[in-house]
Each structure stands twice: as structure tokens, then as C-alpha cells.
Chain A
Amino acid sequence: MENKKIPTRQSYGEALVKLGEKNKDVVVLDADLSTATKTQIFAKQFPERFFDIGISEQDMMSTAAGFATCSKIPYVSTFAVFAAGRAYDQIRNSICYPNLNVKICATHAGITVGEDGATHQMLEDISMMRTLPNMTVISTSDDTQTKWAVEEIAKIKGPVYLRLSRYGVPVIYDENQKFEIGKAVQIGEGTDATIFATGVAVVEALKAKEELSKRNIDVRVVDVHTIKPIDKEMIIKCAKETKRIITIEDHSIIGGLGGAICEVLCEQPHSIVYGDNYFERPIKVERMGIQDTFGKSGKADALMKYFKITSDYIIEKF
């Protein structure tokens, strides 16, 4: 991991310009947050294809739907709380139901928004967005993966929710890393536990992996960048190959990554074999994330600790 920390919103803004150069059908809409969501980078390059709709997220979502009916590929940005929350009905009825090709790139997800506090810390968006038919839900963990995702989602015909963060994270993947929508990335072969992580939590899981290995505890990390469609095969494989399952996310434990993994595993046969062990009941899943509460103001790092989603709290479990 390189030391330089890059927020995925920054990666998004940079990738959007590259995409805009190649694909003239891409238009970008924002709701008076282009400096924060980083769509202003695109706006400067392609002013005629950038539309600042003002502080009206519902209007923005439906306007994007209108563009999509005309074969444009709108990338729509605002904070996650205003995208998935405030404009939920527009996303549901005007985008997902008609299966329109709108890419909702929501920044400032999770408690790592920091000082702005609970009203601005979106902790339910994965949950809400993944219940919508036709929707693809992606939550990226670093600069490389985000840049890949921004380009890749343009190739999907249909709505996408891309969850981005304000919080700076180190670069995990080098530029040769291959990603595929719907395929989680397994890091390591450890069998003592699988830590499924998404977004800013992936780095925490990797830090824990490194620390634990010093204590001869060998865990693997699975970066679940696509929450929907979820990589069932990988989840079941890891449940069979490892002794424990932990999930970690900067999101509510209800309905997020942890919830999605539980849904997969609870529908598996009630016996899972790993090594010489044979269990006559579903494998236990330990969900780390925001425990059914609202966030609060503070520095992002301090909040990660406060809400117990840092590597230390993963290590504590062993």
C-alpha cells in the first residue's frame, strides 16, 4: 500500500474527465456540490455537458432520467444522503422502474463524512439502493478501483449506484489489477477467518490482516466492491474454507454488506464443512459497522474508532 491517501471522490472526478473525453454521450449533473463531489473537474473541461441543477436533488434525478430516455449516459452526483435518501422515490419510479441508464455517483457516504455530523452521514444507502430492482450497487475501496468503476459502469445498460467517500484512503491496487463487476477480490489465502469489507473499511481489514499474521493468525480479506449483484460464489467458498466470517463497512449493519452476506449464507444448506469440521447449522457471521444508530460530528479517524470500525477492533476479535 502506498502512503499517499486519496479520497474516492477525487478519483471519481478525475476518471469522469477521462470518460468524458472518450464517450460523448456522457453528461454530468450536480446539485450545487460540484466542488465537493469533484464533478467540477468535468465541468471545467466540458461545460456544455455539465448541468448544475441547484439545490434540488429530486429535480436532478428526474432530469437525468429524461436525458437517459434520449440515449445519454448521465452521471449524477451529490452527497449520498441527498441522493439515496432525499431522492429515493425519483430513483425508484423514474430511474429503476423504467430501467434507465443513470449512474448515481454519491459521494460523502458513511460516518467518515466527519464534522458535518449525523444529518450528512449516510448509513442506509447500500440497504435502500440494493432493494431496488434493476439497480447495480458498487462501493469502491481505493483510487485504482474507483477509476475502473467509473469507466466500467458506463458499459452497463441500466441504473448504477456508485458509493464514494470523502475520507482519504491509501492506494491498495496497482494499475494492473483486474476487476469485474459482481466479482469480489480475494486478498490472501488465510483460513482462520474471512474478513469481508467494502469501501473505506477494506484498508482497515488489510491492516488487521497484517497485524494478525504477526500473531500467526492467518486471515483473508475479501473486497466486496459490488454489493449487488453480490458474489455468492465467493461468499460460499470462503464460508467453506475459513473458520470465521467477519464483515466490516462504514454503513449500518442492517441491510448493508453484512446483511447481504447473511442473506447469501442463510440460504445455504444447514451444514458447512471446513477442514475436518462439520457444522450442522449456518456459519456465524460477525457484522461490524454502524450498530443501528445515527452518526455524530468529529474527525473521520476519531469517528471510525468511536464506531469501532478500525483494524484494532477487528484484531480484538481474535
Chain B
Amino acid sequence: MAEMKKNEAASPAILEICGLQKSFGELNVLKDISLDVEPGNVVSIIGPSGSGKSTLLRCATFLETANGGDILYDGQYAVKQGVYATKAELAKFRMRFGLVFQNFNLFPHYSVMKNITEAPLLHGREKTEVQEHAMSLLKKMGLEGKENAYPCQLSGGQQQRVAIARALALKPEILFFDEPTSALDPELTGEVLKVIRQLAEEKMTMVVVTHEMPFARAVSNRVIFMDGGVIVEQGHPEEVFGNPQQERTKQFLRNYQR
């Protein structure tokens, strides 16, 4: 399964999704979704609730099983026409991406340090290197001195930053964010967005599902507007936000600004 996609062997995209379909029973949540994410790019996915944004991320990270279409990482098929690679191959694909959840999903019984270091250690990385990397990530997240704290002792914003550090500790090629600030007080949203912005400046490849329009406009290289399980419109943030072509996009952005 892990063969290179023919003709496009030189394709620079880290993630390619082609004709992705997903339905829950009768309900078609994703209808023929296609998108590419190039290295160093930040792609924001916006759209109303129930438009399929989160399902798209969950399919890309194998948390949901798609019913059809292709998913390729670095030109290698993880899913080809709805058929998944073997378990062992999928496990390798998982090492290519990280996912930050809306509800953080930190492990409450682990200290901040152990939350970050256990996965890389389980993957056989060297202990001192893993710990040093974790410390530098914590520093980057503005969480110095919190390594021995437990998640319950941290604010939501701090927890989400630990979750970002935890995802980065595995050195993913691409990082997915599923509404990373939706569970946070408005006050705490800023500190998480700041960290994501910083990662964008460092050319981390990211796909961010978000309702933070000013953030999406400022940070992304590309904005995708989804509704009803399809990509209605996509393009440079200034185009999508400044001069939307589709009536549905205009309507959504109008309602949002109100």
C-alpha cells in the first residue's frame, strides 16, 4: 500500500486528500473533498457547525474511517480509494502528523513532563534527548517551571499549550488543530493563538480548523470554507475574506461579523 503515487512522485505536498467521502449511516458528512497541503503552509478550515470540518481532520488522522477517496502523506498512500494501508503502515503514517484536540485530552494522571515525553520514549527515542527537547518545547510554549505540574493544576490555555508541546515532541511533519481555542475563555484564547502563530512563523506545516476568523486571516496561507460536506470556496485569506466569490461564503462571513 505504501507505494508512491504514480506520475506525481515529485509532488511536494505533505498531505494530499483526494475525493474523500465519509458518511455516518445515511448522513453524508464529507462529499468528495480534495485538498493539498504543501510544506510550510498553514491552511485554515472555516465553516458553520456540522459542515464536516472536524470530520475531515478526524479522517486525515485516521480517527474516523473514510468510506472512499485517497489520503496520501508525502506522496505515499495511507488510503487508496477507501482502502486503508495495513495496521503497521498506518502506525508509521501516524508518526508523520500530530493532532491537537479541542478538549486538550491531556493524560490527567501524568505530570506535564510525562505527558510530553512518554510517547517519544515508547517509540524508542533516547531519554536525555527527549527530555531536553521537552524542556525546550515547554520554554517555547511559555511553560517553564510547569514540568512537574499536573494538568488539573493548569488553566485551559496552559493545558492546550502542553497538548501542543506533546504533539510537537514526536517531531511531526504536519500538525492538525481541531478548534484549539473553542473550549477556552476568550481571555485564554490569545495565548494559544500566539503559540500557533509563532509555529507558523517557524514554517511549521499546519491545518487549523477554527472559528477565529481574524486569526485565520492573519496566519494562513490558504483558507478553506466548508459547508454541507463540501469545500465551497478556497484561496488566499485576503481573497476568501476580502472578496468571497460564493454566495454561501458571503452569507457565512456576514453572519459571523454580526
Q: Is A bound to B? A: no
B residues near A, CB below 8 A? none
**Which A residues are within 8 Å of any B CB, using their own CB?**
none
